[in-house]
Structure 1
Amino acid sequence: MIGAASPSPASPRIAVLGAGHVGPAIARVAIAAGHQVTISASGDPEEIALITGVLVPGAEPRWAADAVADADIVMLSIPLHRFATFDPALVAGKLVVDTMNYWPPVDGVQELFEDPRHGSSEIVQRRLPRSTVVKTLNHIGYHELEEERRPPGSPERHALGVAGDDPAAVAVVADVVERIGYDTVRLASLAAGRLFQPGGPVFGASLRLGEFERALNPEAA
């Protein structure tokens, strides 16, 4: 693991939407990497203030609208079954990181995500047309996200994929992932993010950079 970094005014401010298992884990590693982090659930921030203080020290619980308004990056970590009623206006104009997965054995069948022509993050982007969506952090368990962080150059450092249609947005998010403690493999389309989904070649796998690249493109090996 790596130690905490000093907060930097140049670090993007992060709003985490979702206070279940994944959201707090992302918040913790982002704080450790030097980011200012707010966290929101579906209601009054007072309802998560105590648990936030215990599980995510350093994160500020806020109303979702307030958290998003002040953020440079929004981590979308809500339960997937709630996305159908998610208000797109909440994140309009924002860089949104989709950390969710559609996994019917776990989530049940969600009609919105049953279109085989599109990956789940493509569907998220279609529902959030005024946001820029990038896919990452969905293919690693929340426990592993914290435990497997390593500093740059470590022979034990693992890689994560970052996929999106906007190269500048992908670069911003990849920088956050690298600060957290991972190498990154950047894919130039949100459609390519289907490789990160359940059943894909890197989902749930702990791979170093070369291994990750070969898993995504075995023919190039």
Structure 2
Amino acid sequence: MNIGIIGAGNIGSALAVRLTSLGHQVYIANSRGPETLHDVAQKTGATPVTAEEAAQRGSDFIVVTIPLKNIPDLPNNLFAGVPAEVPVIDTSNYYPLLRDGQMTELETGDLTESGWVQQHLGRPVVKVFNNIFAEHLEKNGQPAGTPGRIALPVASDDDAAKQKVMALVEELGFDAVDGGTLHESWRQQPGGPIYCNDLPADKVREQLASLGTERTAAQHTDFLDNHAKQEQQMEAQGIKLK
């Protein structure tokens, strides 16, 4: 397959490594230009391109994996000419303390992170790969049926795109769990029980069911509080996000 990745940070690079190892052609872009991606190309086997080229050449999948605050800086015509059936994967998370600053739209609980991304991109997106550490994404995939295989929730309003992405998740070595609509994707956001806990499929489904589908004010507050503590711990450990 031909897969375009816009964003060469931890998750983008991890995906590039895995996808090229599976025989796919990967085109990777960052905000500084393909000439700055020599080391990434050597590590991952991906072809450095511009963001526009990644979108055009990713004829099977396009992955947008850049800091949330930078989404509005993407070219307005990024997906011009890209067929509607090509799934656009969004891996974003909101990190107000460590990276993104306060974003009012995401503080109220009315809009999910990927709902916000979808509005800015003007294309349906599929939310996945946001709740696993990059190192685990690159190294911890296992064959189907392996006990304890990590499961990843996949959320989207586009059912056809969701099914394609779920098949890709399985190919990468993870159990794909239907995470519902994009409106329900708050359940896999930071601060919740599914975020970066490497749960198997049965536990992910249990957590999704226990959380319900409509986010309550109390749940939103809990997620924000939990995530704030996580960010503070990460800051104390000197962890930098990119």
TM-score range, shorter chain: 0.7 to 0.9
Q: Is residue 126 of structure 1 aligned with residue 115 of structure 2?
A: no
Partner Cα distance (1:210, 1:88) in 2 = 40
1:53 aligns with 2:41: yes
Distance 1:14-1:115 versus aligned 2 partners, 3 A rule: farther
Q: CA deviation at 1:201?
A: 2.2
Given residue 41 of structure 1, which amino acid in structure 2 is its aligned partner?
A: N
What secondary structure, in the 3-state scheme, does the structure 1 residue paired with 2:197 have?
A: coil
TM score, norm. by length of structure 2: 0.79
Q: In 1, are the aligned partners of 2:91 and 2:127 still within 8 Å (CA)?
A: yes
The answer for unaligned runs of 5 or more in structure 2 is: 213-242
Is the 1:15–1:37 contact (alpha carbons within 8 Å) kept by the matching residues of 2?
yes
Q: Secondary structure at the match of 1:97?
A: strand
Q: In structure 2, which of residues 38, 51, 59 is the aligned counterpart of residue 64 of structure 1?
A: 51
Instruction: Report the CA distance between 1:43 and its aligned residue.
Output: 3.0
Distance, in Å, in 1 between the alignment partners of 2:76 and 2:182 is 18
Alignment match, 1:86: 74
Q: Distance in 2 between matches of 1:21 and 1:184?
A: 21
Q: How does 1:106-125 map to 2 (within 5 A)?
A: 106-107=98-99, 108-111=101-104, 113-125=106-118
Instruction: Give the alignment of 1:12-31 within 5 angstroms.
Output: 13-31=2-20
Task: Please identify which structure carries the higher helix content.
Answer: 2
CA contact 1:84–1:112 (8 Å) conserved in 2:
no
Please provide the CA RMSD for this pair: 1.8
* Unmatched runs of 5 consecutive residues or more in structure 1: 1-10
Q: Does 1:105 align with 2:97?
A: yes
Counterpart amino acid of residue 14 in structure 1: I
Contact 2:27/2:57, CA 8 A, preserved across alignment: no
The CA deviation at 1:219 is 7.9
Deviation at 1:142, TM superposition (A): 0.5
